[in-house]
Amino acid sequence: MAMRLSLAVALALALTLTTSVHADDKAAATGLTAIRCGHLLDTDAGKLLGATTIVVEGTRIKEVKAGSVDIAGAAKVIDLPTSTCLPGLIDSHTHLTFETSPTGYTDQFRWNVADYAIRSTVYAKRTLEAGFTTVRNLGDGNGESVALRNAINAGIIPGPRIFTAAQAIGSTGGHADGTDGYRKDLAGDPGPKVGIINGTDDAWKAVRQHYKDGADVIKIMPSGGVLDESSSVDNAQMTIEEIKAVVAAARDYGFVVGAHAHGAEAIRRAVLGGVDSIEHGTFMNDEDMKLMKEHGTWYVPTIIAGKYVEEKAGVPGYYPPQVAAKAKQVGPIIQATAGKAYKAGVKIAFGTDAAVYPHGQNAKEFKYMVDAGMPPLFVIQAATTHAAQLLRREKDLGSIAPGKFADVIAVDGNPLDDVTVLQKVGFVMKAGERYK
C-alpha cells in the first residue's frame, strides 16, 4: 500500500511539474493552416474588416492577410466565407469545478473531490465549445481546478486555457469559508492552507501555499457574498492590512489579484489595498468608481450571475432562505451598477461567475452589458483585449495578430449589429487545434 501511494504521489508530482506551465507551445501542429473568413473583427483597431485569411503555424498566428487568398504550403484550408472571425473569448471569472443545482448545498456532504473533478471536465468542454478559449478560474473547493488545468495542458481532455486561483482567500466565517452553515463538529477550524486567514501573517502563508499548490492567480473575498449561508452580502470581511499583505505576497510571485467585493467599503479597501480587479461590485458608489479610475483597477461585472440568482430565488427551495434573500438584493442592482461604472470610465473586463448559472451560457453576458449601456464593440473588447490586459497576457491573447496564440472563433452574422450571435459560435480553434 505504501509503495502504491508513493508511486501515485510521484506520478501526480510529475504531471504537475510538466504541465503547470501553460503548454500551448508544446502541441505545435506541423505545416500551415489557412482560415479564410468572410469578415474579421480586429479587436486591437476596433474595426470590422472584410474577407481575411489567417495563417496559422503550429499553435500561433503567422500572418493575417487581407482577402480570401491561397497560401503556399498550407496543409489545411478552412473556409468560412459567410462567417465573422474573432479572437477566442476570455471569461475573467469562472468556477469550472461545480455548477448551480437545487441540491448543491447537500451535494457537498455526499460528493468526494473526484466527483467534482470528473464533472469539471464536462463544464470545461462546454465552455470551450461556447467560444471561450481562456478563463480565469476564481475559486474551487479543493484545488480541483489545478488538476483540470494540468489535464487540459497535457492534452488529456479538451477545455479552455485556465489561469486558476485554486481556493479563494478570505476570513473565518466569511464568503471564502466553505464551512459556513455547517454544524460545529463538522466545521472545524480551516486555516491558511485552505485560504482562511486572520491577520497579515496568515495572508502571507496563504499566498505562499497557493504558489506551492500550483495557483496562477489569487482571489480574495473581502466582502460577504450571495451563495454562502451567512446573513450579509455586502459587509467588509477583510482588513485593509490583510488585503495589502495578500497583494504584497502576490507581487513576489507575479500573481494578479482579483477581489470578490459587493459592498462599497470592501471595494474601497480592496482598491486601496492594491488589487487588480473588483469582481461583482454590486453596491459600489461614486467614490469607489473614482478610486478605481485613479488606481487603474479593473471591474468585472458578472451581470448574468446576478440575474440568475434573482430568478432562482423565486423558486421555492432552490436556495436556503438567507441565500434567497441576498439574491433578491443583488439581482435588481448589479446591471445598473455596471452601466454607471462604464459611464464613469472605469476599466471593464468581461466575466460571468460561471457555475452560478449553467456552464456554456457565458455569452449571454454580452447582451446584458449592451443593455446596461455599453456599445457592442466595447463589450467584445472587454472579453478579448481588455481581459488579456487584466491577465497580463496581451502579448499572447486578445486579438488575431501575428505571434499570438491561434485562438479563433467564428459566428454567422455581425456581432457589432447583434451581440447575441456570440451565443451561437460555429467554429472554435484554440492554440491551432480545431475543437468545433
DSSP helix/strand/coil, 37: strand
Any idea how long the chain is?
Answer: 436
What per-residue confidence (pLDDT) applies to 183? 53
Residue 426 zone, left/alpha/beta (φ > 0; ψ -120 to 50; rest): alpha
Q: What is the mean pLDDT of residues 197-224?
A: 97
CA–CA gap between residue 216 and residue 277 (Å, rounded): 15
pLDDT level of residue 229 (50, 70, 90 thresholds): confident
Same domain, 320 and 253: yes
Q: Is the pLDDT of residue 378 over 90?
A: yes
pLDDT level of residue 16 (50, 70, 90 thresholds): very low
In a domain, residue 14? The reply is no
In a domain, residue 52? The reply is yes
Same domain, 243 and 275: yes
Q: Is the pLDDT of residue 14 over 70?
A: no
Q: Convert the pLDDT of each residue in 41-74 to its tens digit.
A: 999 999 999 999 999 999 999 999 999 999 998 8
Mean pLDDT rounded to a whole number for the chain: 91
pTM passes above 0.85:
yes
Q: Is the pLDDT of residue 388 over 70?
A: yes
Same domain, 172 and 313: yes
Give residue for cell 497535457.
154
Q: Convert the pLDDT of each residue in 360-375 to its tens digit.
A: 999 999 999 999 999 9
In a domain, residue 11? The reply is no
Kindly report which listed range (220-234, 296-310, 378-392, 411-425) carries the lowest average pLDDT score: 220-234
Same domain, 313 and 242: yes
CB 348 within 8 A of CB 299: yes
Closest among 130, 34, 13, 125 to 79, alpha carbons compared? 34
User: CA separation (Å) from 105 to 69, 141, 234?
Assistant: 55, 13, 21
In a domain, residue 411? The reply is yes
What per-residue confidence (pLDDT) applies to 104? 87
What per-residue confidence (pLDDT) applies to 19? 42
CA–CA gap between residue 230 and residue 235 (Å, rounded): 11
Q: What is the mean pLDDT of residues 168-190?
A: 69
Q: Convert the pLDDT of each residue in 99-152 to its tens digit.
A: 999 998 888 888 999 999 999 999 999 999 999 999 999 999 899 999 999 999
Q: Is the pLDDT of residue 26 over 50?
A: no
Q: What are the cell numbers at 83?
A: 462567417
Kindly report which listed range (166-175, 263-272, 404-413) carries the lowest average pLDDT score: 166-175
Same domain, 365 and 421: no
Structural domain of 153: 89-391
CA–CA gap between residue 91 and residue 360 (Å, rounded): 11
Same domain, 83 and 218: no
How many domains is the chain partitioned into structurally?
Answer: 2
Q: What percent of the chain has pLDDT over 70?
A: 90
What per-residue confidence (pLDDT) applies to 182? 58
What per-residue confidence (pLDDT) applies to 180? 58
Q: Is the pLDDT of residue 287 over 80?
A: yes
In a domain, residue 268? The reply is yes
CB 338 within 8 A of CB 307: no
Here the CATH number for the domain that contains residue 371 is 3.20.20.140
Same domain, 185 and 258: yes
pLDDT level of residue 20 (50, 70, 90 thresholds): very low
Enumerate long-range contacts of 202-205, CB under 8 Å, 24 or more apart: 202/242, 203/169, 203/242, 203/245, 203/246, 203/249, 204/245, 204/248, 204/249
Same domain, 190 and 316: yes
List Cβ neighbours of 84 (8 Å cut-off, separation of 6 or more).
Answer: 37, 38, 39, 40, 41, 48, 410, 411, 412, 413, 414, 415, 421
Same domain, 250 and 329: yes
Q: Convert the pLDDT of each residue in 183-195 to its tens digit.
A: 566 656 665 777 8
Same domain, 194 and 318: yes
Q: What are the cell numbers at 413?
A: 452574422
pLDDT level of residue 173 (50, 70, 90 thresholds): confident
Same domain, 319 and 345: yes
In a domain, residue 12? The reply is no
In a domain, residue 230? The reply is yes
What per-residue confidence (pLDDT) applies to 194? 76
Q: Convert the pLDDT of each residue in 90-100 to its tens digit.
A: 999 999 999 99
